[in-house]
């Protein structure tokens, strides 16, 4: 059974509270006085000694023989649901464990380095209001605890790092196809065939809004979004990459926006349709940023009478916005999905016909890719060849995503993970990619009652951040959260 988290808090109450008491609790922590409420301390969880502290006066404070600097951070975290300081240190995590903070709180403080795919287990089920199932989820890359956002219909709901609902906002979009969580206070939403990139702001006590939009002067629609941190001139700035297509579908381009000024920076890879050649301007439907290589991945596909055709391009936006550093046209076993891994210096795709996973080494890619087969099948090569020859569609609905040093693939309701292993311990020897299943594999059941278990539904969207993975499943009005942080889960699942 999953832990179902109550998400009925008001926007002014960012984290779940088990008490409405406003009685003041005074604490002497290592010689420094702190004042808070019993309600704030109760957010540490029922098993935490902080939750049992009764109201006290400044003349008779509770004494805790701990570091006041670390306690100040924990108290701030309990108050607002996120850290205002740099990423959590090992000392802060140790202090949080000392005070036996609730499992969701501990998990939200865990850095990405605590992520272990084979230790992922279902941790919480976050119900969403309304009658529409979620279409897409995203987790912010914030270094001070990652927040989660989910789109259901035209609404976007934000959960703080402790998995308590902060607020929901209704966008002008009938449904959201693409979602980026920039920070705990800002998310961006886009949809195919509808104008602009809509900014969803979640500002604590203030009402959530979605009244602003980013647009491209030649196009009313934004089909896919990607957040990236890249170098602009000598200063670092945060860029949002959005793929646009014109209303008449006769041109497309990727546009970079500076998130500080919310203004367009550069138009990348503009394509025009000439005559009936609709394949001349296939808009990218998958964007990815490789910070270590300063490359933008842009990929899109088109299904026509002759089958599926797709383009994959890598752009060095510092060098040129019109000529990619590498591109390839996919025809034989076009990709169902493609992703880039900074850590592994590679591209990965799932074949639309075969459903098998392929890998391309970034260090060996250059030019237009003509005459060179960049892909190496890391799955069943014989099966891939047979499926391609018979023009099967085994890769339908498969998705691939890279997070840190792992590659994840969805197959219906299940997730497989690929990791790189050394064939021998000797220096200079080859490495190989090996596959595992998350949890207990395809037979694992993650929802339902004890008497009437329900098989998992197909995954429609997923996201990674910190030590967590979030999943949206078809026809389920909730978000499934898996976590791998050590000691993070404090309930029986």
Same domain, 168 and 62: no
- Residue 493 resides in a domain: no
Considering 101, 136, 156, which residue would you say is the last residue of a domain? 101
The answer to whether residue 8 sits within a structural domain is: no
> Domain for residue 7, yes or no?
no
Q: What is the pLDDT of residue 221?
A: 65
The total number of structural domains in the chain stands at 2
Q: Which residues of the chain have pLDDT under 50?
A: 1-21, 231-235, 443-453, 486-493
> Which pLDDT score, from 0 to 100, does residue 1 have?
33
- Cα 389 from Cα 383, distance rounded (Å): 10
Whether residue 377 lies inside any domain: the answer is yes
Classify residue 163: in a domain, yes or no.
yes
Of 101, 121, 137, the one marking the end of a domain is: 101
27-63: burial string, b at 16+ Cβ within 10 Å, e else: bbbeeeebebbbbbbbbbbeebebbebeebeeeebbe
The reply to whether 272 and 169 lie within a common domain is yes
Element (H, E) at 382: helix 381-389
The bridge status of strand 62-64 relative to strand 251-258 is unpaired
Q: In the prediction, which pLDDT does 61 show?
A: 92
Residue 237: which CATH number? 2.130.10.10
Could you tell me which residues come within 8 angstroms of residue 382 by beta carbon, excluding any fewer than 6 positions away?
A: none
Pair 313, 171 in one domain: yes
**Which residue has tokens 């500002």?**
203
Structural domain span for residue 94: 24-101
Residues 96 and 233 both lie in one domain: no
Q: Are residues 117 and 70 in the same domain?
A: no
Task: Please check whether residues 237 and 118 belong to one and the same domain.
Answer: yes
Quick one: pLDDT at residue 109?
78
Please give the helix or strand (H or E) that residue 348 lies within, else none.
strand 346-351
Per-residue pLDDT tens over the stretch 308-322: 888 999 999 888 889
Q: What CATH number does the domain containing 76 carry? A: 3.30.710.10
The pLDDT tens digits of the residues spanning 292-308 come to 888 999 999 888 766 78
Please give the mean pLDDT across all residues of the chain: 81
- Classify residue 321: in a domain, yes or no: yes
Do 285 and 407 reside in the same domain of the chain?
yes
């Amino acid at each position: 059974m999953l832990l179902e988290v109550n998400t009925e808090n008001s926007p002014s109450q960012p984290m779940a509270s088990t008490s409405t008491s406003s009685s003041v609790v005074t604490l002497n922590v290592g010689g420094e006085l702190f004042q808070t409420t019993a309600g704030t301390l109760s957010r540490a969880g029922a098993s935490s000694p902080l939750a049992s502290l009764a109201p006290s006066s400044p003349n008779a404070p509770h004494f805790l023989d701990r570091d006041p600097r670390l306690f100040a951070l924990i108290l701030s975290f309990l108050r607002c649901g996120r850290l205002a300081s740099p990423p959590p240190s090992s000392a802060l995590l140790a202090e949080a464990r000392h005070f036996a903070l609730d499992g969701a709180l501990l998990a939200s403080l865990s850095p990405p380095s605590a992520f272990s795919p084979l230790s992922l287990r279902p941790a919480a089920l976050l119900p969403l209001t309304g009658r529409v199932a979620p279409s897409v989820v995203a987790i912010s890359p914030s270094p001070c605890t990652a927040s989660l956002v989910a789109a259901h219909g035209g609404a976007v709901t934000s959960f703080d790092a402790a998995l308590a609902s902060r607020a929901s906002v209704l966008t002008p979009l009938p449904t959201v196809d693409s979602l980026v969580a920039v920070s705990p206070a800002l998310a961006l939403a886009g949809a195919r065939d509808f104008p602009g990139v809509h900014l969803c702001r979640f500002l604590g006590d203030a009402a959530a809004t979605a009244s602003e939009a980013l647009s491209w002067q030649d196009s009313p629609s934004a089909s896919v979004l990607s957040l990236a941190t890249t170098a602009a001139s000598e200063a670092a700035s945060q860029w949002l990459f959005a793929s646009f297509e014109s209303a008449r579908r006769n041109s497309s381009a990727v546009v970079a926006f500076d998130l500080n000024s919310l203004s367009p920076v550069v138009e990348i890879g503009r394509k025009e349709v000439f005559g009936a050649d609709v394949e001349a301007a296939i808009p990218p439907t998958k964007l990815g940023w490789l910070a270590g290589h300063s490359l933008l991945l842009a990929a899109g596909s088109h299904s026509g009478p002759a089958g599926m055709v797709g383009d994959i391009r890598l752009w060095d936006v510092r060098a040129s916005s019109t000529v990619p550093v590498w591109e390839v046209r996919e025809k034989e076993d076009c990709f169902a999905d493609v992703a880039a891994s900074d850590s592994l210096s590679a591209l990965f795709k799932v074949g639309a016909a075969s459903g098998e996973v392929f890998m391309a080494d970034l260090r060996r890619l250059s030019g237009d890719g003509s005459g060179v087969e960049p892909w190496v099948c890391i799955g069943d090569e014989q099966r891939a060849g047979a499926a391609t020859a018979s023009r099967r569609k085994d890769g339908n609905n498969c998705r691939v995503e890279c997070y840190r040093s792992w590659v994840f693939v969805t197959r219906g309701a299940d997730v497989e993970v690929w990791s790189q292993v050394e064939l021998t311990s000797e220096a200079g020897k080859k490495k190989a990619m090996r596959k595992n299943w998350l949890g207990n594999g395809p037979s694992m059941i993650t929802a339902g009652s004890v008497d009437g278990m329900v098989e998992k539904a197909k995954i429609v969207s997923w996201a990674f951040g910190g030590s967590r993975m979030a999943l949206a499943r078809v026809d389920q009005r909730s978000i499934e959260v898996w976590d791998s942080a050590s000691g993070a889960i404090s309930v029986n699942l």
